[in-house]
Structure 1
Amino acid sequence: MESPLAALLWRSLRVYQVFGANTEVGKTVFTTLLCKSAKRNWKDENVSFLKPVSTGPLNEADDHHIKKFTTGVNHHTLLQYGIPVSPHTAALASGEVRASGEPIPSDNSILARCRDHASERAKAGKGWLFMETAGGVHSPSPSGSTQADMYTPLRLPVVLVGDAKLGGISQTIASFEALRIRGYDVQSIMLFQDKKYQNYLYLADYFLQKYNIPVMSLQEPPTRLESEARDVEAMKEYYEQRTEENIVGTVLEHLDLNHTKRLDRLESMAQKAHETIWYPFTQHEHLPAKDIMTIDSAYGDYFQTYNTKSSEYGALQASFDGSASWWTQGLGHANPQLTMAAAYAAGRYGHVMFAGAIHEPAMTLAENLLQGTGNSRLTRVFYSDNGSTGTEVAVKMGLRAARVRYGWGPSEKLGVIGLKGGYHGDTIGAMDCAEPCIYNENIEWYEGKGYWFDYPTILCKDGKWQISAPEGMEKELGQPQDYASLQQIFNVEAREKKNDHELYERFITEKLQTLRAQGRKFGALIMEPIVLGAGGMAFVDPLFQRTLVNVIRKSPYLFTDEEGVSPRPEASKEWSGLPILFDEVFTGLYRLGRFTPSTFLGVEPDVSVNAKLLTGGLVPLSTTMASEDIFNVFRSQEKVDALLHGHSYTAHPIGCQVGIESLKAMQRMDRRGEWDWAKNPGWASGSSSSSSSSTSSSAPSLAKKTAAGSRGGEVWSVWPLDLVESLSRMEKRVAGVWALGSVLAVHLKDEAGAGYSSNAALGLRSALAQGEADGNNGPWNIHSRVLGNVIYLMAGQTTTQEGVQQLSKMLVNSLK
């Protein structure tokens, strides 16, 4: 199994990628000059040339040219197709079959071979490696992806060969922008001096003024001669003259200096950050500079982090983003579709005023969200900047609606109903919606305003799925009960038919009656559906949450002193009892495998908050969707009655456009069954014995879907069921495990007690951070976050089956 790819960076080896603005712009000529000048100016060092993909006759191959016109330069081609056409066409026409049985090499296999070659050259000693691409920036790879996309994970600095011909100015700038928008560092531009068009003069001024990038131009090579021998002699003379001029040597000095600066900066940043940055959720007394992770770049599921143990394997290692960058990532870091969406909106709008205005991205995203959620109650979308603010907006909506309906004054003290361990953000208002805990108990203005229910939770223990009440609450919430599968637990309607909800209903009703008798007033129920994230990854029995909503909706008398108050009819779509607010910031938008986790409960909230995956992990944005009933509470002739909340960047077009693309991508994956490989092995049947984790991804999905997402009773995870069960049997260290959607949570035993203050998971986190120093694609590890005694890993919505298997193996080995 191939390990994740570490980007190419060694202190001893300067690796540069040569892109061309087009075909026939002189890439090979300039690369030859780079090789010759490097050999001339660094006589004691190695110089190497690599052509990953080449097309055309062997005698015209670029490494053949390097061999002919240089001395002492190592040269190699990975894939040579004999047909002089684009690589994707050549690969199809060649009929060549790799040893693995793939008719066409995958992008990953080509990148792995590039890394292998670079690693060998690094081991050979100090020197240079120039990697020349084929055709133009967007010329296809053998698989059909564009080269600009394919080579991105290598994160190599670039020398761009510009186009000196008519139209070349536009072609060169467009090529530069295509690279720049994908995060390539273009460090130098080289092109010929066509005296007629003089592109080199315009481009030199353009790139110096706009980007401070040097442009180097050279006299054009001699026209090809009919006599091969005379042509070779003419080119040799050209190369010797240009090399002696040492103009290319100055380019190399610039590249050499940039290489050193990059490494020095990576090496020093952690210490500088230690002296400068105030980190979130961090006790700085426990954070030495050596523990600060320096990120050079990111792509897909992985950071490229500075390897402080810097060895022959390179200065960078691939680090799996185990927390999904605080639960935001879903479509992969540096996703080109999201990047282009952001650039499009930035170019078209920048940022524009939203109050009393509308623009296409905000309108379309609102429409898509309302349609996607499938909640017939929700009709309005309020934009804000992040999840904490979004929940504050939701609470303002709920409290006002309850106050108006029940006739309470604006100074009346109102609380919220929630769940213990629930957490809704770090702003003061959001904090007040949570019970006193380690996050808020030392905050000066914090006042917990509400009541928070105990609840039963789900864990897989010793291979069995179990629902258990908090210790000491067995009488109220039931004794621990084992289930044959997670699907059985989530079949809430079947459990209701067996009256499993009655104990919960009695417990909830009695508690609410007691609170009413105490004179407590509440304005909303707010909770995270299914999983309470920051509170310790508590996996709540869905039947309890469903019952809590149903009790509140059918019992408005519990929240008012008025007599004869009846619940609102379901068909009216009006809120009943209390407004129901779902904080789906973490659990929404396919994090748990569905567009909305409310479908697990079979109830529809009156207000729903989304963020994080809303933009695929690229930029901050939050939405609070509300019912028309809630919206109408704020309508009047007085401005003071409006929802007076907003921020400067409300509904910023960049975030909205990225949100459109993100939702489109995830819904498309759902429709196409791109997660079926995860659903079928074990999860579909509820038994890991029915199928191994390596079951073919070709099996059909077992559940019916609707346009709003996966609604057919599917309960599944990208983390294999047999992994969950095997981890749960490690009883010496593991208290229990659960997985759903892209989330895996391992609850570790701690004799001192569980909770956020526990240190039980720190050892496992350290073991994962150690990773593998000698992976076949370079060093790699897992970066993870812990919540007390709980360590969790979060895959992306685009994480592959092979990727999950690699992570699972490292996790199991680290726990042994």
Structure 2
Amino acid sequence: MRVPSGLWKNLVPVQIYGANTGVGKTVVSTLLAKHFPGRKAGKTRWSVKYLKPVSTGPAGESDERYVKRHAGCQVRCLYRYDDPVSPHLAARNAGEMVSDETLLSRISKSLRQYARSEPFGADKRAIVLIETAGGVLSPGPQSTPQADLYRPLRLPVVLVGDYRLGGIATTISAFESLTLRGYDVDAIAIFNSGRFGNDEYLKSYFKNQGNIPVFSLPSVPDLEDCSKEEEWKKMEEYYENVHLSPELSVLAGCIVGQNRKRLQELNKMAKRTNEVIWHPFTQHKSIEQPHDILVFDSAYGDYFQTLHTRKSLKDIKHEDELPVLYPAFDGSASWWTQGLGHGNPELSLAAAYAAGRYGHVMFAGATHQPALLLADRLLKGLENPRLKKVFFTDNGSTGTEVGIKMALRAACKRYEWDGSAEEIGIIGLKGSYHGDTLGAMEASEPSIFNKKVDWYRGRGYWFDYPQVKMRRGRWVVEPPVGMEEEFGPRQYFESLDEIFDFETRGSSPRYEQYIEDVLNRLTKSEGKKFGALVMEPVLLGAGGMVFVDPLFQRSLINVIRRYSFSSHQTDSSDPHTWTGLPVLFDEVFTGLYRLGRFSSASFLSIHPDISVHAKLLTGGLLPLCTTVASQSVFDAFWGDKKADALLHGHSYTAHPIGCHVANTSLEVMKGLEVSSIWERYRRSWMGETRKEEGKFRMLKGERKEEWIWSMWNKHFVEEVSKNKRVDACVALGSVLAISLVDKKGAGVLGFHFRFSLPCF
């Protein structure tokens, strides 16, 4: 949801959460509302607003009416339901199913209106008390737990603890639920619990849990058997006696102080970062001012909460009207790691469970359930009869490097080459990039990323290839400039399905002849040796979102597997044993539903011998990578000596927390795969003719995930491709890549977007 975080310079919003229903949230709100106008701390004068997003029950007994009567401040309720039940039931019974997005938008709009309406200055500020309904995880109108519903606003919290018997447990649980979701709990307020001792216990407990301050407030008068008039009189006396008490004053000071501290820290972060941080992929000379550095306060869903700077506010006249943070869209999904959105509560809970169960444990010669379950899940999901073994690493570059080690050992052992003394290269594709570790760099041609790395040599050969693009509303496969003779003329297709329809397109003698001619030149004329074919299936990610003609990739693999790279012949009756060279698919970017399928290898209808998976593996929460290999590759490391083994690993190999989060992430994405949402996208790309054909394909038992589609609106993609400033675009699965023509029309600038899955 695109709303700014609730942080302002002269407006202090605070969310009042309750550990449970009936713990006195409204009493605490009233005390604070009554305290601030008379607060004696410096020269600041305070005005108070009270906002109730959702209220249930009779209007005459509403919380906002109660606060108005006892505190006299401005109050507002956004949605009121007469039925005194949980908001999700009350909304359903009233027939008014307000969406989460609408509710958040109205809260954000209300805060903006408060900011505009106040004549703020050095001595004038306002506080907004935003009171929730029920407990922390009580459902909102759309059944979303409130802690998830209000999370995009990331408002600071005063948690009202439960003073009743059993309240210690509910208060701690409520605090942990908020913490798991990235809230800042500024303070805990609890009414004196007498002989239960909840307040005293919680003070001691939270002092050791991040030193969260706990404020014990005088207990509320006994109102049992009181008339309305007597109740009102008793509470008036209570508020008069308590609202300026030292304890409440310190609580209010804590709220204001935390707001001030947060603002100060955010304003210092860019300057301090520029002093002490060495950024990746950054030429630091280009950072002229600290405000060139983006400051993130948090991230949720597909948005960062990013600090406004003078640079971003240069056209704004009334800066105080704006929130300090604004929602910046994460167009690259944080280097393409996000699949289920930032701050996903399901993944956070999974991480907390695994952290509590394991922390981290060593993995050499050992095992644990999350790693074993993940290995089984990957082998099943990849549906590749060749793949049998799963090796764990921490990131895509390392995982690819491990895969290259595997492939080179397998090739050298079979062909009796000495890789330590001979130059053994790899075969790949131009423009590919497989990571920043030295071995992975060697598997890519010279580029801006590696050619100035001092040990880089670039050991390999990289084939050029035809590319797939949408230009002016039509799909086209076009050869590189000047290579029409090798690859043939430009070809047009009516749909993506046609491009991947290998049964109709058949094999390509032209492609295969070109590939064989190059291999003959390299191996026979120049005497070069190669140990692996390494490539990203379908789409080259870091290389510029380049969509390779899938027929060319199929042709390359077919030729590699039948080509004789040595006089030594493969002697195996196992059809899953690698031939020619081991084929390694780098699916770090393209795999695990990025393109709408579990494995991007399925687009080529070819099984690799080694497959690498990362990024979306953990939904972007933790670093984890797996390199999956065939039995014949694994057997190359079988021997009597330790030196024959794959001696690779790191301290956090098969990190249990990462493995458990990965299992959760894959389970959630599997649900999306069969959801009605994805079905809607599939059908939208078929067109009417294809829909009828789709029905026929379903009757034949063909699976939906075998169809070719995009999560981007088909009409939108076509219209973008027709824009005069656009050279071409690509859309497949969740990827949208747009190549722009520069202002002079003389070249193409790569401008690439990739949304995370929840947007669709």
TM-score by length of 2: 0.94
Q: Which residue of 1 aligns with 2:15?
A: 17
Q: Which residue of 2 aligns with 1:415?
A: 425
Q: Secondary structure at the match of 1:160?
A: strand
**C-alpha deviation, 1:795, in angstroms:** 1.2
Q: Secondary structure at the match of 1:347?
A: helix
Alignment: residue pair count: 738
**C-alpha deviation, 1:230, in angstroms:** 1.8
Q: Which residue of 2 aligns with 1:539?
A: 547
Q: Which residue of 2 aligns with 1:805?
A: none
Q: Could you tell me whether the CA contact under 8 Å between 1:18 and 1:130 is conserved in 2?
A: yes
Aligned ranges for residues 588-667 of structure 1 at < 5 Å?
588-667=591-670
Q: 1:568-611: per-residue Cα shift (whole Å, max 9, x none)? A: 66x62100110000000000001111111111111000000000
Q: Which residue of 2 aligns with 1:503?
A: 510
**C-alpha deviation, 1:707, in angstroms:** 12
Q: Could you tell me whether the CA contact under 8 Å between 2:585 and 2:612 is conserved in 1?
A: yes
Alpha-carbon distance in structure 1 between the residues aligned to 2:9 and 2:701: 52
Q: Which residue of 1 aligns with 2:139?
A: 140
- One-letter amino acid of the counterpart of residue 131, structure 1: I
**C-alpha deviation, 1:231, in angstroms:** 1.7
Q: Secondary structure at the match of 1:217?
A: strand
Whether 1:356 aligns to 2:365 is yes
**C-alpha deviation, 1:349, in angstroms:** 0.1
Q: Which residue of 1 aligns with 2:232?
A: 232
Q: Could you tell me whether the CA contact under 8 Å between 2:726 and 2:738 is conserved in 1?
A: yes
Q: Could you tell me whether the CA contact under 8 Å between 1:455 and 1:540 is conserved in 2?
A: yes
2:708 to 680, 699, 715: 715
Q: Which residue of 1 aligns with 2:489?
A: 479
Q: 1:399-449: per-residue Cα shift (whole Å, max 9, x none)? A: 111111111124232110000111100010000001111111111000111
Q: Secondary structure at the match of 1:244?
A: coil
Aligned ranges for residues 170-319 of structure 1 at < 5 Å?
170-224=169-223, 225-288=225-288, 289-308=290-309, 309=313, 310=319, 312-319=321-328
Q: Which residue of 1 aligns with 2:533?
A: 525
Mean Cα displacement is larger for which, 668-677 or 745-754? 745-754
Change (3 A) 1:115 1:706: farther
- One-letter amino acid of the counterpart of residue 451, structure 2: E
**C-alpha deviation, 1:566, in angstroms:** 6.5
Alpha-carbon distance in structure 2 between the residues aligned to 1:519 and 1:357: 44
Alpha-carbon distance in structure 1 between the residues aligned to 2:697 and 2:571: 34
Q: Which residue of 2 aligns with 1:47?
A: 48
Q: Secondary structure at the match of 1:135?
A: coil
Q: Which residue of 1 aligns with 2:434?
A: 424
Q: Which residue of 2 aligns with 1:560?
A: 566
**C-alpha deviation, 1:266, in angstroms:** 1.5
Q: 1:44-72: per-residue Cα shift (whole Å, max 9, x none)? A: 4320111111112222111111111112x
Whether 1:36 aligns to 2:37 is no
**C-alpha deviation, 1:246, in angstroms:** 3.9
Q: Could you tell me whether the CA contact under 8 Å between 1:593 and 1:716 is conserved in 2?
A: yes
Change (3 A) 1:522 1:152: same
Q: 1:676-716: per-residue Cα shift (whole Å, max 9, x none)? A: 222222x21399xx99xxxxxxx99886599998542x221
1:370 to 372, 379, 390: 379
- One-letter amino acid of the counterpart of residue 510, structure 1: D
**C-alpha deviation, 1:372, in angstroms:** 0.5
Q: Could you tell me whether the CA contact under 8 Å between 1:676 and 1:701 is conserved in 2?
A: no
Q: Which residue of 1 aligns with 2:347?
A: 338
Q: Which residue of 2 aligns with 1:66?
A: 67
Alpha-carbon distance in structure 2 between the residues aligned to 1:708 and 1:609: 27
2:466 to 435, 446, 456: 456
Change (3 A) 1:612 1:58: same
**C-alpha deviation, 1:452, in angstroms:** 0.7
Q: Could you tell me whether the CA contact under 8 Å between 1:589 and 1:613 is conserved in 2?
A: yes
**C-alpha deviation, 1:621, in angstroms:** 0.3
Q: 1:772-798: per-residue Cα shift (whole Å, max 9, x none)? A: xxxxxxxxxxxxxxxxx2111111121
Mean Cα displacement is larger for which, 433-442 or 666-675? 666-675
Alpha-carbon distance in structure 1 between the residues aligned to 2:143 and 2:694: 27
Q: 1:450-497: per-residue Cα shift (whole Å, max 9, x none)? A: 11101111111122211111112111111222222222111122101x
Q: Could you tell me whether the CA contact under 8 Å between 1:680 and 1:701 is conserved in 2?
A: no
Q: Which residue of 2 aligns with 1:763?
A: none
Q: Which residue of 2 aligns with 1:514?
A: 521
- One-letter amino acid of the counterpart of residue 509, structure 2: E
**C-alpha deviation, 1:311, in angstroms:** 5.0
- One-letter amino acid of the counterpart of residue 207, structure 1: F
**C-alpha deviation, 1:271, in angstroms:** 1.7
**C-alpha deviation, 1:305, in angstroms:** 0.8
- One-letter amino acid of the counterpart of residue 528, structure 1: E
Change (3 A) 1:707 1:648: farther
Identity within the alignment, %: 48
Q: Secondary structure at the match of 2:253?
A: helix
Aligned ranges for residues 73-84 of structure 1 at < 5 Å?
73-84=73-84
Change (3 A) 1:184 1:44: same
Whether 1:748 aligns to 2:708 is no
Alpha-carbon distance in structure 1 between the residues aligned to 2:577 and 2:674: 32
**C-alpha deviation, 1:751, in angstroms:** 8.5
Alpha-carbon distance in structure 2 between the residues aligned to 1:335 and 1:255: 27
Alpha-carbon distance in structure 1 between the residues aligned to 2:743 and 2:513: 33
Q: Could you tell me whether the CA contact under 8 Å between 2:56 and 2:81 is conserved in 1?
A: yes
Unaligned regions of 5+ residues in structure 1, if any?
98-103, 692-698, 761-788, 801-816
Alpha-carbon distance in structure 2 between the residues aligned to 1:567 and 1:171: 67
Q: 1:223-273: per-residue Cα shift (whole Å, max 9, x none)? A: 115222122111101100002324212211111111111112222211221
